[in-house]
Amino acid sequence: MELRRPGPRDLCTAGDVPPPPGWARSPFVKALPPELFTVHGSCAEMRWEAMRGQGRLVPNDRFFVRNHTRTPLVDAATWRLRLHGSGLRSSPSLSYRDLLALPATTIECAVECAGNGRSFFATQQDQPVPGTPWRLGAIGVARWRGVPLSVLLHRAGLTDSAVDVLATGLDPEYAERGVNLGRVRRPLPLAKALDDVLVAYEMNGEPLPPDHGFPARLVVPGWTGIASIKWVGDIEVSATPLTSPWSTGTYRLFGPGHPGEGSAPLTTQVVKSAFELAWNAVLPAGRTHVLTGRSWSGTGRIVHVEVSDDRGATWRPVRLTDAGPSWTRWRYAWSPPGPGPYALTARATDETGAGQPLRTAYNTLGYLFDGLVEHPVTVVG
Ligand SMILES: Nc1nc2c(c(=O)[nH]1)N[C@H]1C(S)=C(S)[C@@H](COP(=O)(O)O)O[C@H]1N2
Ligand SMILES: [Mo]
């Protein structure tokens, strides 16, 4: 299998990862215009105002990117997906054409980084944490088409003793503080792997874009984004439990209230809400503004959303305009009482009763922020 090198069109952005020799400086392939994205090193955050007027799905050109290093350009003609391990009876190796010939399904689902909302630990809770300082734009929803992972595993012959499924990406090895952690990989328990996980090769009706995992990636519904391994080349199925640095050293909750080795590895996402509005938006006074937004959860459909413009003193229910399997869109006609600075807050509840607390319980790596976000807006007379 060969990795193609980016050409001259892959111009330099704000990448902070030294590229392998011969590679362009940019960790990304797609264009990241500033009206659609905020770039944080090798990651690109979606601007929420870019979703106003969009349908249910986040178009591929504005879907956030979370790269540990850089987007590899994988040649589909030589790519193979290898399945192997002590939990399988055979060790098949599939080509891109083999994958496309298998029974496929399409799902609408979110990919959301575990660190989405992380910056609010520092800005709202006075609890600075390391890591990419996302606001709320480390989420995207797409229609993913691909082969259920269960189909691939059953065809390869699962043994009765199989317990864990470890997918590994083809992007460069990742080093942290001088320690090479190897290729990005993370085990999934067999039950989840057989439930609703997809080996996706299409995103919103197009072949997966390079930045989102071409030629194939996992899509793990409801779970933190790290489970959805991009550029997958290898899937190990094991009869003994597997770990990786992404299931032991990170993507757990660490800190007060958690054991020294951290919580169990993160699985499902939490409840969040966002306005489709620029950060520090300026709105004219003396008018009603139709505010639009979305709320979502990794554990169930959103059933209720309300909005406050006075830091939670009073709440008003919003109109849910379209409740889908991924996120729920809503709108609220806001008549600001007068000019001045405001903090707009939305909070949602899902069908399991999970909601959004005033503050998120602190954890040292800043995961699973579900607290109330104060979105700053200025109304000018
Ligand atoms: N191989 C590989 N897979 C990966 C990553 C990565 O850096 N390398 N990042 C993970 C993380 S942390 C997230 S949040 C999602 C982001 O998916 P996206 O870039 O398509 O939005 O991909 C996951 N899969
Ligand atoms: Mo992530």
Contact 218, 199 (CB under 8 A): yes
73 exposure class (CB count in 10 Å sphere: 0-12, 13-18, 19+): middle
Contact 89, 157 (CB under 8 A): yes
**Which of the pair, 99 or 381, is modelled with greater confidence?**
99
Q: Is the CB of 44 under 6 A from ligand 1?
A: no
pTM of the entire structure?
A: 0.94
- Which residues are within 5 Å of ligand 2 (an ion), measured at CB? 66, 113, 225-226
In this structure, the residue with its CA closest to atom 20 of ligand 1 is 212
pLDDT band at 263 (very low <50, low <70, confident <90, very high): very high
359 to 217, 372, 373: CA distances (angstroms): 34, 7, 9
Residue 6 has pLDDT above 70, yes or no: no
* Share of residues in the chain with pLDDT > 70 (%): 93
Encode pLDDT of 59-90 as tens digits: 999 999 999 999 999 999 999 999 999 999 99
In this structure, the residue with its CA closest to atom 1 of ligand 1 is 169
95 to 50, 99, 155, 302: CA distances (angstroms): 37, 6, 15, 39
- pLDDT score at 24: 63
Helix (H) or strand (E) holding 155: helix 149-156
Atom number, ligand 1, closest to the C-alpha of residue 115 = 14
Compute CA 77 distance to the chain's CA centroid, rounded to the nearest angstrom.
28
Taking residues 287-292, what's their average pLDDT? 98
Q: Is the CB of 328 under 6 A from ligand 1?
A: no
pLDDT band at 249 (very low <50, low <70, confident <90, very high): very high
**Which of the pair, 323 or 267, is modelled with greater confidence?**
267
Q: Is the CB of 111 under 6 A from ligand 1?
A: yes
- pLDDT score at 323: 85
Distance 135 CA to ligand 2 centre (A): 13
The fold of the 272-380 domain, in CATH, is Immunoglobulin-like (2.60.40)
Distance 230 CA to ligand 2 centre (A): 11
How many degrees, rounded to 5, is the angle at CA 97 between CA 94 and CA 100?
95
- The least confident of 15-24, 273-282, 309-318 is 15-24
- 3-class DSSP assignment, residue 153: helix
Residue 7 has pLDDT above 90, yes or no: no
How far, in Å, CA of 136 to CA of 345, rounded?
A: 13
Atom number, ligand 1, closest to the C-alpha of residue 113 = 14
150 exposure class (CB count in 10 Å sphere: 0-12, 13-18, 19+): middle
- pLDDT score at 15: 36
Residue 11 has pLDDT above 50, yes or no: no
- Residue ranges of domains in the chain: 272-380
How far, in Å, CA of 251 to CA of 381, rounded?
A: 46
- pLDDT score at 16: 42
Distance 43 CA to ligand 2 centre (A): 10
> Best substitution site from 174, 226, 232 to test ligand 1's pocket, by max atoms within 8 Å of Cβ?
226
- The least confident of 16-20, 144-148, 163-167, 252-256 is 16-20
Taking residues 120-140, what's their average pLDDT? 98
Residue 23 has pLDDT above 90, yes or no: no
Contact 311, 374 (CB under 8 A): yes
Token pair, residue 238, equals 């094991």
Q: Is the CB of 184 under 6 A from ligand 1?
A: yes
Distance 86 CA to ligand 2 centre (A): 29
Encode pLDDT of 191-202 as tens digits: 999 999 999 999
Q: Is the CB of 274 under 6 A from ligand 1?
A: no
Residue 8 has pLDDT above 70, yes or no: no
- pLDDT score at 10: 33
- pLDDT score at 351: 96
How far, in Å, CA of 274 to CA of 290, rounded?
A: 14
Phi, psi of 29 (to 5 degrees): -105, -45
Distance 67 CA to ligand 2 centre (A): 8
Encode pLDDT of 340-373 as tens digits: 999 999 999 999 999 999 999 999 999 999 999 9
Distance 25 CA to ligand 1 centre (A): 19
In this structure, the strands spanning 139-148 and 319-323 are unpaired
Mean pLDDT of the chain: 94
Distance 24 CA to ligand 1 centre (A): 20
In this structure, the residue with its CA closest to atom 21 of ligand 1 is 65
Atom number, ligand 1, closest to the C-alpha of residue 213 = 20
Token pair, residue 308, equals 């406050």
Contact 66, 39 (CB under 8 A): no
Q: Is the CB of 349 under 6 A from ligand 1?
A: no
* Share of residues in the chain with pLDDT > 90 (%): 92
Taking residues 27-41, what's their average pLDDT? 96
- pLDDT score at 324: 83
pLDDT band at 254 (very low <50, low <70, confident <90, very high): very high
235 to 160, 216, 333: CA distances (angstroms): 18, 12, 49
4 to 76, 143, 171, 212, 247: CA distances (angstroms): 10, 27, 12, 16, 30
